[in-house]
Amino acid sequence: MSDDKNLKTPRLEINLHKIQENARILVENLAVKGISVTGITKASLGCPKIAKVLLSAGVNALGDSRIQNIMRMRNADITAPITLIRTPMMSQIEQVVEHATISFNTELDVINALSESAQKVGKNHGIILMLELGDLREGIMPEDIEGIVSKTLELPNIKFKGIGANLACRSGVVPDAKNMKELSDMANSLDAIFGFKMDIVSGGNSANLGWALKSLNIGRINNLCLGESFLLGLDPLTRKPIEGLYTSAFTLMAEVIESKIKPTKPWGKIGQSAFGKLPPIKEQGNISQILLAIGEQDTDPSGLTPPLGMEILGASSDHIIVKADKHSITIGNKISFKPNYAALLRAMTSPFIEKCFIS
Ligand SMILES: *Cc1c(COP(=O)(O)O)cnc(C)c1O
C-alpha cells in the first residue's frame, strides 16, 4: 500500500533501470553465441523511453508490430534501425517504407507494393521472409520460399536481408533443435542456390531463449527478437523467472473506492455476468472486500498478482474486487499488483493508466 497523493492512479510504475539491466544481460549472453538482439517495443506502445533504454543496453535494432508505434519512436528522434515485425498492411505501405528499415514479409503482393513505394521516394527497404515452421501464424510454406526469394531479388529498391521464423505464439510450438535446424538448413540451401550469404537468420522471440542459451549448435541463427523476457524477466514457455533477471520492472497501482465487510456469495437468480459465465464461488462467509477503480477496460484482471494476503475475487469493466486480509483498508489507499504479459499489454495500451517512470 502507498499513499502518495501527488501521483495519479491507476498507474503503471515502470523501472527503467531493471529493464535496461535485463536487456544488457540478455544481449551479453546472446552475443557470446553470435546472436544479435532486436528489442521489441510493441508491449509498450513503442514507448521512446523504453526504446532508448534498450538501445543503450546494446540491442542492435528495435522492432514493433504496429507502424503507429514505429512512428512514435521516429517522432522521438530514434534513428536506429526499426523492423516492422508484422507483415505490412497494403493500406500502410507508404508509412512502412518511410519509417521502417526492414519488414517481416510473407506475401509477394506486399513486397511488390513496398518496391513501388520505395522507388517513388528513392529509398531502399529491407525484407526478411518469414518461414512457416509449424506454429501456424505467419510464414511461407517451406516449398514456396525459394520462388519468393527469387522474385524478391529482382525487385528495385528492395534489399533481401534474410529469413526468420516465429514459434510459440499462436499454437505454443516450442523452439527446439529440430525446427531451428530446419530454419538453418533453409538459410544454407537458399545461400547455395542464389550464391550469397544472407545477413539475418532470425530464430524467433523470447520463447527461443531456453534453446539459444543451452544449445551447443545454434547453426545459422544470428538474431532473436525479444520483448517479454527483458520486460518481465520471464521465459514465456514456462513463465518462470530467467536466472539473473529482474521480474519486478512493472507495478500496477490501483485505488480503493469502497471497503466493506460483505458476504462471499451473491444472492438472487444468477444469469451471465458482464463478461460471460463465472466459475463457482467458494463460500468464505462474511469477508473484507475492497473495490478498486480499475477493470477489464484497463488491464487483464486475471493476469494480476495481488499483494500477499489478498485475493482477486472478480472484475467488471471498471472495477476489480479484492478480498483483503484482516486489517481494514481505507478509501483512497493504493494497492499494488504485479502484471503478467497480457495484463501489462492492456495497461500499457490504456489511456486511463498513467505511465510513471521510476529509477
Ligand atoms: C511479439 C513478437 C516478438 C517478441 O515476442 P516476445 O515473446 O515478447 O519476446 C518477436 N517476434 C515477433 C514476430 C513478434 O510478433
* Intervals of the chain under pLDDT 70: 1-5, 326-327
Comparing CA positions, the residue from 306, 203, 215 lying closest to residue 254 is: 306
CA of 182 to the centre of ligand 1 (A): 20
Distance from the Cα of residue 219 to its chain's centroid: 26
What pLDDT score was predicted for residue 325? 83
What would the grid cell of residue 42 be?
510493441
The protein residue with its alpha carbon nearest to ligand 1, atom 5, reads 205
What pLDDT score was predicted for residue 4? 58
Q: What is the pLDDT of residues 309-318, one digit of tens each?
A: 999 999 999 9
What pLDDT score was predicted for residue 5? 60
Comparing CA positions, the residue from 318, 273, 277 lying closest to residue 296 is: 318
CA of 205 to the centre of ligand 1 (A): 5
Comparing CA positions, the residue from 168, 145, 156 lying closest to residue 115 is: 156
What pLDDT score was predicted for residue 281? 82
* Residues lining ligand 1, Cβ inside 6 A: 40, 42, 65, 85, 166, 205-207, 225-229, 236
What pLDDT score was predicted for residue 1? 46
Q: What is the pLDDT of residues 26-56, one digit of tens each?
A: 999 999 999 999 999 999 999 999 999 999 9
Q: How crowded is residue 323: how many other Cβ atoms within 10 Å of its Cβ?
A: 18
Instruction: Output helix, strand, coil percentages for the chain, rounded to the nearest 5.
Output: 35, 25, 40
Residue 201's DSSP bridge partners are: 163
Q: Which sequence positions are flagged as catalytic?
A: 42
What would the grid cell of residue 126 be?
529491407
Predicted model pTM: 0.94
CA of 33 to the centre of ligand 1 (A): 20
The protein residue with its alpha carbon nearest to ligand 1, atom 3, reads 205
Pick the atom of ligand 1 nearest to 65's CA: 15
Comparing CA positions, the residue from 137, 187, 141 lying closest to residue 164 is: 187
